[in-house]
């Protein structure tokens, strides 16, 4: 049996049964990365030395007949805006190209304590600002389903690494859809948990009231297993929730009879590709066949979510990114004569065009005379978006809609028109504004064979319910079992 493309539970079964060692699992994935990385370009930094030490620790546990932690021997990757001591944390930006974090993010500590093998840090849109990973200062990550297409963003590297089989699971961050949208484009599962369920300590901030860390995997069960490890209260994060956690993996089942599912009307019409809309409506019929009660629901304020998001997110980014000035850490320009020119030239040379655009938008929205007209008003409409969800969840347990209005697009197709790129987030940003959990699963393929994502949303702290609904759909369909052509070609060479 090949070790590439296996689930967490299957690899664990092989380890516990001593049919394979952690070293063998690691070596298989390293070899796979060596074959694919020149085409996919998913990683900014490989951490093979770290993974080797971790694999040896797991094999020592097996040799000593000790019990194995839940992610023992599982190859993973983490997005390059998550702190990992000893390795660069660049956010795919020139301004942090030489930055080594002095401390570990809580999520990485929890993953390593659970036995995971960290193979690398993945490419992303600079400072998580983008929907295609084209804004990276270092490289273009390609979609494993079609190398001429983008992998989505901003967690494009993590999604591509999972889809291609480089790793079993990965971490991403989601400020307005940056886990779910690339999961949709790359045909994998990506989840944004309830805001505060997973600690943000050690995540480089983009927009602090919206940012959330979450898992990407090839199955709902794998995502549930990852979430079970990384979720939980953290005293180092003031926004961390201190709530009891369910055992996500043990409570998964394919039974959803009587579940009330609402199809969001406003996200099924104009602007949504025909193939995407058709697949989502077909998915709603699958839920109906599983015994769920499915009906349409109107969320009138959802049409305002995108402009609200791009005011609030850019305003918070303007404040958060003020710390990168060339003084204490990161890139420092040599073309300066005094402190003011140091600030100016460092930021001019260190930030890419999209980051500069968002800083300027956010600074303008917060400036004197415009704060009330833009930022305060956006926060008021944000409340209306949340109230939309509150009303919808009185009648429905779970809401569904497309994850993205389109499938993966070609490189350069939207870079010249930022607004068109921003519209890629139209279905995902409402969940971040409301702080509720969302998940993207594969619900079909378009006429060119590119994956289409179905987004499921649930009330805050109903992450288990969300996983149950996604798991039921996954068990009733075969979409998640299909592999990208480039991976299939390697596994079954002609």
Q: Residue-wise pLDDT tens for the chain (494 aa)?
A: 599 999 999 999 999 999 999 999 999 999 999 999 999 999 999 999 999 999 999 999 999 999 999 999 999 999 999 999 999 999 999 999 999 999 999 999 999 999 999 999 999 999 999 999 999 999 999 999 999 999 999 999 999 999 999 999 999 999 999 999 999 999 999 999 999 999 999 999 999 999 999 999 999 999 999 999 999 999 999 999 999 999 999 999 889 999 999 999 999 988 899 999 999 999 999 999 999 999 999 999 999 999 999 999 999 999 999 999 999 999 999 989 899 999 999 999 999 999 999 999 999 999 989 999 999 999 999 999 999 999 999 999 999 999 999 999 999 999 999 999 999 999 999 999 999 999 999 999 999 999 999 999 999 999 999 999 999 999 999 999 999 998 866 654 43
Task: Give the CA radius of gyration of the chain.
Answer: 21
> Active site residue: 21, 154, 184, 424, which one?
154
Q: d(Cα 241, Cα 368) in Å, to the nearest integer? A: 34
Task: Provide the pLDDT for residue 494.
Answer: 38
Which residue is it, tokens 């049964």? 17
Whether 8 contacts 225, CB under 8 Å: yes
Task: Provide the pLDDT for residue 491.
Answer: 59
Task: Provide the pLDDT for residue 490.
Answer: 62
Whether 415 contacts 354, CB under 8 Å: no
Task: Provide the pLDDT for residue 487.
Answer: 80
Q: d(Cα 479, Cα 487) in Å, to the nearest integer? A: 16
Residue 357: both structure tokens together: 């655009």
Q: Please state at what angle helix 220-230 crosses helix 463-476, rounded to 10 degrees.
A: 160
* Secondary structure string (H, E, C) spanning the chain: CCCCCCCHHHHHHHHHCCCCCHHHHHHHHHHHHHHHHHHHCCEEEECHHHHHHHHHHHHHHHHCCCCCCCCCCCEEEEECCECCCCCECCCCCHHHCCCECCCCCHHHHHHHHCCCEEEEEECCCHHHCCCCCCCCCCCCCCECCECCECCCCCCHHHHHHHHCCCCCEEEEECCCCCCHHHHHHHCCEEEECCCCCECCCCECCCCCCCCCEEEEECCHHHHHHHHHHHECCCCCCCCCCCCCCCCCCCCCCCCCCCCEEEEEHHHCCCCCCHHHHHHHHHHHHHHHHCCCEEEEECCHHHHHHHHHHHHHHHHHHHHHHHHCCCCCCCCCCCCCCCHHHHHHHHHHHHCCHHHHHHHHHHHHHHCCCCCHHHHHHHHHHHHHHHHHHHHHHHHCCEEEEECCCCCCCECCCCCCCHHHHHHHHCCCHHHHHHCCCEEEEEEEECCCCCEEEEEEECCCCCHHHHHHHHHHHHHHCCHHHCCCHHHHHHHCCC
> Active site residue: 155, 158, 178, 318, which one?
178
Which of 190, 136, 155 has its CA nearest to residue 354? 136
Taking the domains of the chain in order of start, what are their residue ranges?
A: 8-300+386-491
Task: Provide the pLDDT for residue 489.
Answer: 62
Region for residue 145 given its phi and psi (left: phi exceeds 0; alpha: psi -120 to 50; beta: otherwise): alpha
Identify the CATH assignment for 8-300+386-491 out of 3.30.750.24, 3.30.1490.20, 2.70.98.10, 3.90.1300.10. Answer: 3.90.1300.10
Task: Provide the pLDDT for residue 493.
Answer: 45
> Active site residue: 21, 79, 92, 318, which one?
79
Chain-centre distance of CA 363, in angstroms? Answer: 27
Largest Cα–Cα separation, the chain: 70
Q: d(Cα 156, Cα 15) in Å, to the nearest integer? A: 30
178 is catalytic: yes
Whether 91 contacts 121, CB under 8 Å: no
219 is catalytic: no
79 is catalytic: yes
């Amino acid at each position: 049996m090949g070790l590439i493309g296996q689930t967490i539970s299957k690899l664990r079964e092989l380890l516990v049964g001593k049919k394979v060692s952690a070293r063998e699992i690691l070596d298989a994935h390293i070899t796979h990365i060596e074959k694919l990385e020149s085409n996919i370009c998913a990683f900014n930094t490989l951490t093979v030395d770290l993974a080797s030490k971790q694999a040896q620790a797991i094999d020592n546990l097996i040799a000593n007949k000790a019990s194995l932690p839940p992610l023992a021997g599982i190859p993973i990757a983490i997005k390059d805006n998550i702190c990992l001591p000893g390795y660069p944390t660049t956010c795919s930006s020139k301004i942090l190209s030489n930055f080594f974090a002095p401390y570990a993010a809580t999520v990485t500590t929890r993953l390593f304590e659970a036995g995971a093998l960290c193979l690398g840090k993945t490419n992303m849109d600079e400072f998580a600002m983008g929907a295609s990973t084209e804004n990276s200062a270092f490289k273009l990550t390609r979609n494993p389903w079609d190398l001429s297409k983008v992998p989505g963003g901003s967690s494009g590297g993590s999604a591509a690494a999972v889809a291609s089989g480089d790793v079993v699971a990965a971490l991403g961050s989601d400020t307005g859809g940056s886990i779910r949208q690339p999961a949709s484009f790359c045909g994998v599962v990506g989840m944004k948990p309830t805001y505060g369920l997973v600690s943000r300590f050690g995540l480089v901030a983009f927009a602090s009231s919206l940012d959330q860390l979450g898992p990407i995997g090839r199955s709902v069960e794998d995502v549930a297993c990852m979430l079970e490890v990384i979720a939980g209260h953290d005293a180092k994060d003031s926004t961390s929730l201190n709530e009891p956690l369910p055992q996500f993996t043990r409570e998964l089942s394919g039974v959803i009879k009587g579940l009330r599912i609402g199809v969001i009307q406003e996200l099924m019409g104009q602007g949504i590709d025909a193939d995407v809309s058709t697949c989502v409506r077909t998915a709603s019929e699958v839920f109906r066949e599983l015994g769920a009660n499915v009906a349409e629901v109107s969320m009138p304020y959802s049409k305002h979510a995108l402009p609200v998001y791009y005011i609030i997110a850019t305003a918070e980014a303007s404040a958060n990114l003020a710390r990168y000035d060339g003084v204490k850490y990161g890139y420092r320009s040599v073309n300066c004569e005094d402190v003011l020119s140091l600030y100016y030239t460092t930021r001019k040379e260190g930030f890419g065009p999209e980051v500069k655009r968002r800083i300027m938008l956010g600074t303008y929205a917060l400036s004197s005379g415009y704060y009330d007209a833009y930022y305060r008003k956006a926060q008021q409409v944000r409340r209306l978006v949340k109230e939309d969800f509150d009303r919808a969840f009185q009648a429905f347990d779970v809401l569904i809609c497309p994850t993205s209005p389109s499938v993966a697009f070609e490189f350069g197709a939207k870079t010249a028109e930022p607004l068109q790129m921003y519209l890629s987030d139209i279905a995902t940003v409402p969940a971040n504004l409301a702080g509720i959990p969302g998940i993207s699963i594969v619900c079909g393929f378009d006429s060119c064979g590119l994956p289409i994502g179905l987004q499921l949303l649930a009330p805050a702290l109903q992450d288990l319910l969300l996983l149950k609904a996604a798991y039921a759909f996954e068990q009733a369909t075969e979409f998640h079992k299909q592999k990208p052509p480039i991976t299939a070609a390697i596994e079954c060479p002609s």
